[in-house]
């Protein structure tokens, strides 16, 4: 062998022999952080997760991710107060993503295309009684049926849906949408018995051979207030008014209608009165606009339709064609106090919308149940003090919205399922929140929020047609693509591109990435340039 002089005859070697990973003092790691929308959703939807599929135009996949947590997307896409949008990080950039409208688009698309839920798991042989076919009961029934349990729903009313049907007017929620989504749940094999009020829960469980029961009877009893009224004064409560809208005959309210109260039900009653032909529909409320429990959007829509509001006022007396109101003022603690100033308002009819109570008569004599402030107390596992009896929705403490009800139903179903299997369900530890400061927003394109079409005011004042319209496909997709994907990798390839050391391995579409720690020097460029905050640095153990 010919001897070669050193240093000019070595074959070129690759720098791969130089493992620069040993320089590292901090290490990047891929993480999934909790997007604020998911965090805020009372139904626990994986919003960022389903938007991801909608962005690609894979609407069925998006819908399937959505209905893992909520079987009523077309309903929710109309009536939810979308706390997700309130907490959306994009609101700090320009405007929040129109999550609610996209949800509605997916829900409607599912109905249009006839997508069905996946077949339930193998039958467990266990049977669960659900009392109440409102959002909470339907949600629990759906989740339990999917888990393979036999579910029977009993409802006292003539049609399923609870407050979604008898509380929410059809101009906000068309009944064909509600009917279709409920039908899809029943098609999972859930049996529904209408007009069958349960009066004795343990008895019903025993007679039907049920292993557990979920109570979700809602809050249907209207609260009253004492108002001195002449014999001819026409007074009714908002809940009865809204319920009667589902019957054949429309109630006669007169030309001038006064609604007493400041919640969402008051808004619904005032807007319904307007549609029934009232020339004047006036809301009388004790406090100020800032302190009103009704959602801002509902009040805004009511005002657009010509509903008037008399702030800081209470009704002192009601007569045949007029009422006497007293001006109030707020004291230091924000409580309204009477001022003695009286005023007369013309009114043919007074509608009371002062809140609702739960009809708890079905729980008489059930041992172990605790009732406080008119609602049933439940533990973290949604179980009441009586083993095997769970409860949720408006009849337990919490905010009373459809979304909260659906969330309760889902949560209770998880616990009921575990309870039937003799285990306990533990919520997996939540990811760290993906706050705005974790994002690199430079990378996102400017895009204004899309607006949903709204019905003409004239038609809103005289018909029960749906007020807010849905997105077409192009708009829905555009809006979905405004999602910043906070805290969750959306495969933008930034980390793969910006690494000066070529130490990021791209695993291919849908597979995300891996770090090559043999060469990663820990510079942190990938962390800084990740748009959505899905990489973090942790100190290296040295």
Partner 1 sequence: MSYQPIRFYQTGTFTVGNRLLPDEQRSVQANMRRTNSLNSGHRACQGCGEALGARYTIDAAMEATQRQLVAANATGCLEVFSTPYPETSWQIPWIHSLFGNAAAVGTGIAAALRVKGRHDVRVIAQGGDGGTTDIGFGCLSGMFERNDDVLYICYDNEGYMNTGVQRSSATPPAARTNTTMPLGQSAGNRFGQGKYLPAIAMAHDIPYVATATVAELHDLEAKVRRAMEFRGARYIHVFVPCPLGWGHDSAATIRIARLAKETGLFPVFEAEGGRVTHVSRIKRKLPVEEYLRPQQRYAHLFRDPPRRDVIERIQQLADRNILRYRLTDGVERRA
Q: How far is the CB of 531 from partner 1 (least distance, A)?
A: 6
Element containing residue 128 per DSSP (H, E): strand 127-131
CA–CA gap between residue 32 and residue 510 (Å, rounded)? 15
Quickly count: other Cβ atoms within 10 Å of residue 183's Cβ: 12
C-beta of 322 vs 537, nearer to partner 1: 537
Q: How far is the CB of 482 from partner 1 (least distance, A)?
A: 7
Choose which of 291, 316, 449, 521 interacts with partner 1 (CB under 8 A). Answer: 521
Q: How far is the CB of 485 from partner 1 (least distance, A)?
A: 8
140 exposure class (CB count in 10 Å sphere: 0-12, 13-18, 19+): buried
Show contacts with partner 1 in window 430-489 (CB under 8 A). Answer: 442-445, 447, 478, 481-483, 485
From the list 17-25, 176-184, 309-317, 462-470, the region that binds partner 1 by CB under 8 A is: 17-25
Q: Is the four-CA dihedral 99, 102, 106, 112 of positive or negative sign?
A: positive
C-beta of 248 vs 508, nearer to partner 1: 508
228 in the Ramachandran plot: left (φ > 0), alpha (ψ -120 to 50) or beta? beta
CA–CA gap between residue 157 and residue 162 (Å, rounded)? 8
C-beta of 163 vs 484, nearer to partner 1: 484
C-beta of 320 vs 493, nearer to partner 1: 493
Q: How far is the CB of 140 from partner 1 (least distance, A)?
A: 36
Site string for partner 1, 48-87 (x = CB under 8 A): -------xx-------------------------------
CA angle 357, 359, 362 (to 5 degrees): 155
C-beta of 93 vs 236, nearer to partner 1: 93
Distance of CA 265 to the CA centre of its chain: 18
Q: How far is the CB of 328 from partner 1 (least distance, A)?
A: 44
Can residue 492 be called a binding residue for partner 1 (CB under 8 A)?
A: yes
Q: Which of 35, 44, 36, 37 is nearest to 404 (CA)?
A: 44
Show contacts with partner 1 in window 116-145 (CB under 8 A). Answer: none
Quote the tokens at residue 127: 């049977």
Choose which of 264, 523, 533, 534 interacts with partner 1 (CB under 8 A). Answer: 523
Q: Which of 222, 165, 166, 221 is nearest to 350 (CA)?
A: 222
Can residue 498 be called a binding residue for partner 1 (CB under 8 A)?
A: yes
From the list 100-108, 151-159, 239-247, 501-509, the region that binds partner 1 by CB under 8 A is: 501-509
395-400: long-range contacts, CB 8 A cutoff, minimum separation 24: 395/215, 395/216, 395/217, 395/218, 395/219, 395/358, 395/360, 397/372, 397/373, 399/42, 400/219, 400/356
Can residue 218 be called a binding residue for partner 1 (CB under 8 A)?
A: no
- CB-based contacts of 209: which residues, under 8 Å, 6+ apart? 127
Contact footprint for partner 1 (CB under 8 A):
7, 10-20, 23, 55-56, 442-445, 447, 478, 481-483, 485, 490-494, 496-503, 506, 508-509, 516, 518-519, 521-525, 527-529, 531
């Amino acid at each position: 062998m010919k001897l070669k002089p050193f240093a000019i005859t070595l074959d070129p070697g690759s720098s791969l022999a130089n493992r620069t990973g040993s320089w590292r003092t901090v290490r990047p790691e891929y993480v999934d952080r909790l997007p604020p929308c998911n965090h805020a959703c009372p139904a626990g939807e994986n919003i960022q997760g389903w938007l991801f599929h909608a962005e690609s135009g894979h609407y069925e996949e998006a819908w399937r991710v959505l209905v893992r947590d909520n079987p009523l997307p077309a309903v929710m896409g109309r009536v939810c107060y979308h706390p997700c949008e309130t907490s959306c990080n994009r609101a700090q950039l320009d405007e929040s993503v129109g999550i609610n409208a996209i949800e509605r688009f997916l829900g409607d698309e599912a109905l249009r295309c006839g997508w069905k839920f996946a077949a339930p798991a193998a039958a467990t042989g266990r049977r669960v009684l659900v009392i109440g076919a409102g959002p909470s009961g339907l949600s629990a029934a759906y989740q339990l049926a999917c888990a393979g349990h036999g579910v029977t729903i009993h409802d006292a009313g003539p049609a399923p849906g609870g407050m979604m049907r008898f509380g929410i007017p059809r101009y906000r929620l068309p009944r064909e949408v509600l009917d279709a989504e409920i039908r899809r749940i029943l098609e999972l094999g859930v049996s529904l018995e209408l007009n069958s009020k349960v009066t004795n829960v343990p008895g019903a469980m025993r007679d039907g051979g049920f292993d557990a029961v979920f109570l979700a009877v809602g809050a249907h009893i209207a609260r009253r207030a004492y108002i001195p009224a002449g014999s001819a004064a026409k007074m009714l409560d908002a809940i009865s008014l809204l319920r009667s809208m589902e019957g054949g005959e429309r109630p006669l309210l007169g030309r001038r209608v006064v609604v007493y109260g400041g919640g969402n039900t008051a808004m619904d009653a005032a807007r319904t009165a307007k549609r029934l032909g009232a020339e004047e529909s006036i809301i009388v409320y004790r406090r100020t606009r800032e302190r009103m429990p009704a959602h801002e959007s509902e009040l805004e829509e009511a005002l657009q339709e010509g509903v008037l509001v008399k702030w800081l006022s209470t009704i002192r007396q009601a007569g045949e064609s007029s009422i006497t109101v007293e001006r109030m003022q707020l004291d230091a603690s924000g409580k309204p106090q009477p001022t003695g100033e009286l005023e007369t308002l013309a009114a043919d009819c007074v509608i009371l919308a002062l809140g609702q109570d739960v009809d708890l008569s079905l729980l008489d004599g059930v041992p172990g149940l605790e009732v406080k402030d008119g609602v049933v107390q439940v533990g973290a596992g949604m179980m009441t003090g009586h083993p095997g009896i769970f409860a949720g929705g408006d009849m337990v403490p919490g905010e009373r919205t459809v979304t909260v009800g659906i969330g309760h139903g889902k949560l209770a179903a998880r616990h009921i399922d575990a309870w039937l299997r003799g285990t306990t369900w533990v919520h997996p530890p939540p990811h760290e929140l993906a706050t705005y400061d974790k994002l690199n927003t430079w990378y996102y394109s400017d895009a204004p929020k899309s607006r949903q079409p709204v019905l003409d005011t004239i038609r809103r004042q005289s018909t029960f047609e749906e007020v807010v319209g849905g997105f077409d496909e192009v708009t829905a997709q555009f809006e979905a693509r405004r999602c910043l994907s906070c805290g969750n990798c959306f495969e933008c390839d930034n980390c793969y591109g910006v690494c000066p050391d070529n130490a990021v391995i791209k695993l291919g579409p849908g597979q995300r990435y891996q770090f090559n720690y043999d060469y990663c020097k820990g510079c942190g460029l990938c962390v800084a340039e990740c748009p959505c905050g899905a990489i973090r640095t942790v100190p290296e153990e040295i």
